Structure 1
Amino acid sequence: MSDAATSNPIEPEITEPNRLNEQAAVALVIAGALVAVADRRVSPVERDEVIRFIRDRGLAPHMSDDRLFAIFDELAERLEEPDFANVVIDTLRPVSNLPLSSHLMELSERVAAADEDVHPHEVQAIKLLRLLTLVLPRAKQVTPSAVRAE
């Protein structure tokens, strides 16, 4: 089974700016959700901090708060599954060329402190995010000349 959509899933994401913006917002949400679920209890203040962070920096003006809350809740549930690392990696990989790592790290630290109790597992989640932002393979950038050549 090899169609264009499954053979190179990154290419359409890079060439569609609106989709890339949404993926960047989801990457920020997953960073916050990862830290929030690390201590096994997601506090509403942690979820609110994720949305506040995104709004204060104008990072996802095209998405409603309700949509961001829904994404957070869905990802928080997924992060409780055994394959949580794959969920994080698959969410971060398409936006690995964007300058998001400082935002991801700042957001993760703010979420950890939001409930005024930084749990050791939250610290581990932050370290994992830091490592992932350093080692994730970069998405292949599609240039206009490469698209025309095909």
Structure 2
Amino acid sequence: MSDANHSNPLEIEITEPSRLNEQAAAALVIAGALVAVADRRVSPVERDEVISFIRDRDLAPHIGDDRLTAMFDELAERLEQPDFANVVIDTLRPVSDLALASHLMDLSERVAAADEDVHPHEVQAIKLLRLLTLVLPRAKQVPSGAVRADKPAASAG
């Protein structure tokens, strides 16, 4: 198995600073997907809850339902892999300085209740998200052209 076959296709999209809507949507989707996979059975009603939540609050107006659905399915699948924690952290980090924490928590609680059975592992996933929103390192804003790979940042001419 090569890394190329198992790399996250969203990685390029969600790390580009010009894609703030995509990054925020991915953060919301990962929160819902983490709770959905916590009990080992992802219900369509849980995915629908994620999309409804994002739509009802107009949190990703430029991203279509088909894209959100695909994003959910892809991230839910990635969360079943051993490196799921890295997937969550890497998805949340780019938007950690945005005011999404309350939305992430509200969404995760709604997803847990969506199938009318809040599993103890879903509660643990919500606690993990709460912790991550409190302690995740903030994304650093770097002006374009400010850092060059061929020149050390400390040298000042």
**TM bracket (short chain):** 0.7 to 0.9
Higher helix share: 1
Offset of residue 60 of structure 1: 0.5
In the alignment of these two chains, the number of paired residues is 134
For residues 43 and 22 of structure 1, the distance between their equivalents in structure 2, rounded to whole angstroms, comes to 24
For residues 51 and 122 of structure 2, the distance between their equivalents in structure 1, rounded to whole angstroms, comes to 18
| Identity over aligned pairs, percent | 85
TM-score of the pair, normalised by structure 1: 0.85
For residues 107 and 58 of structure 2, the distance between their equivalents in structure 1, rounded to whole angstroms, comes to 14
Q: Root-mean-square deviation (CA), in Å?
A: 1.6
Structure 2: gaps of 5 or more residues: 1-11, 148-157
Max radius of gyration: which structure?
2
Point out which structure has higher relative CO (alpha carbons under 8 A, 6+ apart): 1
For residues 43 and 147 of structure 1, the distance between their equivalents in structure 2, rounded to whole angstroms, comes to 42
Structure 1: gaps of 5 or more residues: 1-8
Residue 100 of structure 1 corresponds to which residue in structure 2? Answer: 100
TM-score of the pair, normalised by structure 2: 0.81
Cα 1:148–1:26, aligned 2, differ >3 Å: closer, same or farther?
Answer: closer
Which runs of at least 4 in structure 1 moved beyond 3 Å after TM superposition?
146-150
2:54 counterpart of 1:51: no
Cα 1:71–1:147, aligned 2, differ >3 Å: closer, same or farther?
Answer: closer
For residues 42 and 147 of structure 1, the distance between their equivalents in structure 2, rounded to whole angstroms, comes to 40
Cα 1:117–1:94, aligned 2, differ >3 Å: closer, same or farther?
Answer: same
